[in-house]
């Protein structure tokens, strides 16, 4: 049963009508379902525990997809680890009750201060993306009197066939170390006094709906692992990154976690490697929506606009990637539809959440922008001095505020005017 469904003509999240949420907390609002979040993590855990190669696997939720403390805390309670990309994300996961031994640290530009923070916390692994980064970590670990566990993020040069802004595994990407140089880099890493070679890592891109590039990438990584073993460099874990896609359109079919993971686990069986995963979007994307109200309808010669109270600052994905999100009326009306561009009040032509959407709506109606749980609030900004939306989590018939709506005063609290 979906956690998002029409009941008595009103779109509900679990047992709560979205109209009631709008009434109580205002709009725009991000609304998440605890049951949907739990189910998406459980889908990974169930597939892993059912496979011999997945027994000791670690699911490290990619915090960047949605870093709200309540979501992090929920996943921590369910046993997840975390994939972080900054010192800020580390502080967040620790504040949310994460076990630092289940944290991997990704990203191309870690500062010395961030490295020290992570070493002090005792994280599971640093995913290293360049020689200078490796050398910096060796130095910082030396100063702290520690050995830093590392994986090299290897770029398998596989085309994930997704949007160019979110494909990362091609050799021209800024991410990872080139496949051809990986062996040499491992040799260098193994010789550094404050580095402990622990694993290997790859992440080829995001929103992949065809699992075959993952298999291709794994085959290339396994060949490298064999070469490393020949040189006496043995690895403890393999981190396959994130990237599994979700359906953004009702008619799309999304691959199951089993159809993505089982072919990978089959290839890993008997190798004695702990599997680490970094899913982001798949765990949260379809567990949240953006609730908004129509302010005005502007019906023109060539185009009709539904002007809503959410905007590109709340959900950047359509403006940034021409991404599609289904837009559903919360209380659907009977009647003829017209095509509307669903736009916000921000002064940019790119400020749309959907274009040419057939809708039968009136001013004041509520709309739900679906599949907005991932890279929605996490990428929101205060452009046009717009306070960011309230975030609420539905749990059965209860609604919890998990982040208050910002106030305008908070937005300029850190600013000051010149003395004269
Ligand atoms: N691991 C690494 C190293 C990553 O760079 C990413 C995402 C993930 C894991 C999680 O990937 P996921 O499972 O969520 O696909 N803002 C874009 C997506 C950017 C993804 C960046 N890296 C969007 O809204 O589509």
Residue-wise burial string across 218-256, b where 16 or more C-beta atoms lie within 10 A, e elsewhere: bebbbebbeebeeeebebebbbbbbbbbbbbeeeeebbe
Q: For residue 31, what are its two tokens?
A: 């609304």
Q: Peptide bond preceding 371: is omega within 30 degrees of 0, i.e. cis?
A: no
Taking a C-beta distance cutoff of 8 angstroms, is the pair 93, 82 a contact? Answer: yes
The alpha carbon dihedral of 315, 261, 2, 327 has a sign of: positive
Catalytic (active site) residue 347:
yes
pTM value is: 0.97
Cα 176 to ligand 1 centre (Å): 14
State the closest ligand 1 atom to the C-alpha of 281, by its place in the atom list counted from 1. Answer: 14
C-alpha distances out from residue 369 to 1, 32, 44, 82, 292, Å: 20, 12, 26, 27, 8
State the closest ligand 1 atom to the C-alpha of 207, by its place in the atom list counted from 1. Answer: 15
Judged by DSSP in three states, 257 sits in helix
* Pick from 93, 88, 146: nearest CA to 120: 146
Rg (CA), the chain: 23
The alpha carbon dihedral of 312, 319, 159, 249 has a sign of: positive
Query: Which amino acid residue places its CA nearest to atom 16 of ligand 1?
Result: 375
Cα 207 to ligand 1 centre (Å): 8
Judged by DSSP in three states, 316 sits in coil
CA gap 117, 94 in Å, rounded:
11
Other beta carbons within 10 Å of 398: 11
Q: For residue 246, what are its two tokens?
A: 């979700």
CA gap 37, 137 in Å, rounded:
35
Render each residue's pLDDT in the chain as its tens digit; 420 residues: 589 999 999 999 999 999 999 999 999 999 999 999 999 999 999 999 999 999 999 999 999 999 999 999 999 999 999 999 999 999 999 999 999 999 999 999 999 999 999 999 999 999 999 999 999 999 999 999 999 999 999 999 887 776 666 666 556 667 899 999 999 999 999 999 999 999 999 999 999 999 999 999 999 999 999 999 999 999 999 999 999 999 999 889 999 999 999 999 999 999 999 999 999 999 999 999 999 999 999 998 889 999 999 999 999 999 999 999 999 999 999 999 999 999 999 999 999 999 999 999 999 999 999 999 999 999 999 999 999 999 999 999 999 999 999 999 999 999 999 999
Query: Which amino acid residue places its CA nearest to atom 19 of ligand 1?
Result: 166
Ligand 1 contacts CB of residue 106 (under 6 A) = yes
Is 376 annotated to bind a ligand? Reply is no
Is 251 annotated to bind a ligand? Reply is no
Taking a C-beta distance cutoff of 8 angstroms, is the pair 365, 331 a contact? Answer: yes
State the closest ligand 1 atom to the C-alpha of 323, by its place in the atom list counted from 1. Answer: 25
Q: Which of 125, 144, 202, 347 is catalytic?
A: 347
What is the enclosing helix (H) or strand (E) of 225?
Answer: helix 212-230
Ligand 1 contacts CB of residue 280 (under 6 A) = yes
Ligand 1 contacts CB of residue 285 (under 6 A) = no
Is 52 annotated to bind a ligand? Reply is no
Q: Which domains are delineated in the chain?
A: 4-32+285-411 (2.40.37.10), 34-280 (3.20.20.10)
Pocket test for ligand 1, best of 278, 286, 323, 380 (most atoms within 8 A of CB): 278
Cα three-residue angle 54-57-62, rounded to 5 degrees: 130
The alpha carbon dihedral of 304, 309, 310, 311 has a sign of: positive
Q: For residue 272, what are its two tokens?
A: 């004695």
Position of tokens 């889908």? 43
């Amino acid at each position: 049963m979906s956690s998002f469904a029409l009941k008595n003509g009103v779109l509900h999240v679990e047992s709560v009508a979205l109209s009631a949420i709008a009434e109580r907390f205002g709009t725009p609002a991000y609304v998440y379902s605890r049951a949907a979040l739990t189910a998406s993590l459980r889908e990974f855990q169930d597939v892993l525990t059912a496979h011999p190669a997945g027994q000791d696997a670690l699911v490290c939720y990619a915090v960047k997809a949605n870093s709200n403390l309540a979501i992090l805390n929920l996943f921590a309670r369910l046993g997840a680890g975390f994939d972080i990309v900054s010192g800020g994300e580390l502080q967040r996961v620790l504040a949310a009750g994460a076990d630092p031994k289940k944290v991997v640290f990704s990203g191309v530009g870690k500062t010395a201060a961030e490295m020290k923070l992570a070493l002090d916390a005792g994280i599971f692994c640093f995913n290293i993306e360049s020689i200078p980064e490796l050398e910096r970590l060796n130095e910082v670990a030396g100063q702290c009197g520690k050995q830093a566990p590392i994986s090299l993020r290897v770029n398998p040069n596989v085309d994930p066939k997704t949007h160019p802004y979110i494909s990362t595994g091609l050799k021209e990407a800024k991410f990872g170390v080139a496949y051809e140089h990986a062996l040499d880099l491992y040799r260098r890493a193994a010789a550094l006094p404050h580095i402990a070679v622990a694993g290997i890592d790859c992440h080829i891109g995001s929103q992949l709906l065809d699992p075959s590039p993952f298999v291709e990438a794994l085959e290339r990584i396994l060949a490298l692992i064999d070469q490393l073993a020949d040189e006496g460099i043995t690895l403890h874990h393999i981190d396959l990154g994130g990237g599994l896609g979700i359906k953004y359109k009702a008619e799309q079919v999304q691959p199951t976690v089993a159809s993505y993971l089982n072919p990978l686990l089959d290839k890993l069986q008997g190798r004695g490697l702990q599997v680490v995963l970094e899913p982001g979007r798949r765990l949260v994307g379809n567990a949240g929506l953006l609730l908004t109200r129509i302010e005005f309808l502007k019906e023109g010669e060539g185009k009709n606009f539904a002007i809503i109270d959410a905007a590109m600052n709340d959900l950047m994905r359509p403006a940034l990637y021409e991404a599609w999100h289904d837009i559903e009326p919360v209380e659907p009306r009977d009647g003829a539809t017209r095509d509307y561009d669903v736009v916000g009040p921000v002064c940019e032509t790119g400020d749309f959440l959907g274009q040419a959407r057939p809708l039968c709506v009136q001013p004041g109606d509520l709309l739900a922008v679906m599949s907005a749980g991932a890279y929605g609030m996490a990428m929101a900004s205060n452009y046009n001095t717009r306070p960011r939306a309230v975030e609420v989590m539905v749990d059965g018939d209860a609604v919890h505020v998990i982040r208050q709506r910002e106030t305008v005063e908070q937005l300029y609290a850190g600013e000051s005017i010149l003395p004269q």
